[in-house]
Amino acid sequence: MEGRVANMWRLTVNESKFVETALQSELRVDGRGLYDYRKLTIKFGKEYGSSEVQLGQTHVMGFVTAQLVQPYKDRPNEGSLSIFTEFSPMADPSFEPGRPGESAVELGRIIDRGLRESRAVDTESLCVLAGKMVWSVRIDLHILDNGGNLVDAANIAALAALMTFRRPDCTVGGENGQEVIIHPPEEREPLPLIIHHLPIAFTFGFFNKGNIVVMDPTYVEEAVMCGRMTVTVNANGDICAIQKPGEEGVSQTVILHCMRLASSRAAATTKIIREEVEAYNRERSLQKVKRHPTLAKSEVSGPTVAVKEEHRKSSDQEKAAEISREHVERLDLCSEEPRSNKEEEVTASPTNFKGGPSKWDPYSEAMDVDSLKASLASRGDSVTKSSSKKTTNGSENAEKDAEMSVEEVTGDLGKKDTIEATKQKDGEMTLKDAVKPKKKRKNKNN
């Protein structure tokens, strides 16, 4: 027992008291306003259907895979969608190894409800041979770092992974017309999933007997708060799922207020996800065209890095200035005239969404080559890795910038050329698209 006590993360009385008192004057410990989101970064992996989402310090990886299986008996012509979560003790010592704990199960269920019950993914189009073969899509969510609000981050990771996932095309043929032929990606372009809408989860924390509401609680806030509610909404203002699992009671007006907040935010977050996915898709299609030797970069470092680089300044002066500016921006939020200018910024430049630009983590963001040298090998693997990445970014800065501009130009050309291809691949799906593949299949069956 003593061992367990020693390894637990502990909250001091001072912290919990301060978090509450600061919230009473509408201040949060990381300088955000009550309804500000932390900085959201979405990255994609080299393979189809993998994503990495960073929400402040929280870090979640999503991975989508598909397999041909027999359908469930009660739904013979529908594919299935299942969600698995992995809470490894690596991310947080309070996660226990082995069987998924309560929180892991709950997180999976919240995301599952949001995605499945609202029919965000078209499962009927995943049917290959009614009653015999359907695609079973599996989403794996790995928590890499727990900085609070895992649900929202995991939900975005799941969406981003689903949107970039491609399944191999397959046709029904053979002698008896019952054999399923899977076409390798070299032969036929793999197909994206049909996603009707994006249900986005927003988590609220309740403090002070449910009288104070904050959005996107951090780890410390989660430890202090007395209640939690996750609202999953899409950009059309539909509510797809709600989870308020007991805990402190709050009044109905507070709940409805949270929902309005969530639906007002949904459009902005949807836009970020769509833009990131589009940028990734563009990059991928360019890679396929291979019109330029320099473009055949094997590294898909993700567009977010590129955006950041444009902002990156090399001289000491400017860097410090930048940090302080961001810092102040945060503090600005807690000053008397809060979010009006903030929202303008969001609409103006959605790619670097600063719904609460949390440069909270000094290691991953405020690290540059000089400081690296100064405090080399200070803390273990993870930082060394991230900072070394930064180093390469820094040195290749100019080079990469040039490349970026080339890419941009050719990007437009490529888009025109492969307009058919991109249409299918783009995140934007219409109901028409949902119908098409079915018809094709029917014709073939006939």
Q: Which of residues 418-437 bind another protein (CB under 8 A)?
A: none
10 scored as a contact of another protein (CB under 8 A):
yes
d(CA 404, CA 60): 27
Judge whether 407 and 295 are in contact, CB under 8 Å. Answer: yes
Pick from 195, 160, 200, 138: nearest CA to 44: 160
Largest CA distance in the chain: 74
113 is a site residue for another protein (CB under 8 A): yes
Pattern of binders to another protein over 352-371, x per CB under 8 A? -------xx-xx--xxx-xx
**Tokens matching residue 329:** 């921006």
Among the listed residues 46, 176, 298, 317, the single contact to another protein using CB under 8 A: 317
Taking a C-beta distance cutoff of 8 angstroms, is the pair 152, 214 a contact?
A: no
Residue 318: which of 277, 244, 372, 368 has the closest Cα?
368
Output the six-digit token pair for 221. Answer: 């806030």
Q: Is 219 in the site for another protein (CB under 8 A)?
A: no
Stretch that binds another protein, among 18-26, 121-129, 304-312, 430-438 (CB under 8 A): 18-26
User: For another protein, which residue of 245, 385, 388, 431 counts as binding (CB under 8 A)?
Assistant: 245
CB of 10 to another protein, least distance (A): 5
d(CA 152, CA 202): 6
Q: Which residue, 238 or 408, is less far from another protein as judged by CB?
A: 238
Q: Does 131 bind another protein (CB under 8 A)?
A: no
Quickly tell me which residue has 């503090």 as its tokens.
331
The only residue of 248, 275, 278, 426 in contact with another protein, by rule CB under 8 A: 248
- The residue within the footprint of another protein, chosen from 179, 310, 316, 412 (CB under 8 A), is 316
Per CB under 8 A, contacts with another protein among 88-107 are: 102, 105-106
d(CA 444, CA 440): 6
Please tell me what DSSP assigns to residue 115: I
Q: Total residues at the site for another protein (CB under 8 A)?
A: 87
In this complex, which beta carbon is closest to another protein, that of residue 48 or of residue 360?
360
Residues 27-56 that bind another protein (CB under 8 A): 27-31
Q: Which residue among 56, 210, 356, 414 contacts another protein (CB under 8 A)?
A: 210
385 binds another protein (CB under 8 A): no
Q: Does 330 bind another protein (CB under 8 A)?
A: yes
> Closer CB to another protein, residue 320 or residue 413?
320
Question: Which DSSP string do the residues of 354-375 spell out, in sequence order?
Answer: -SS-----HHHHS--HHHHHHT
Radius of gyration of the chain (CA): 23
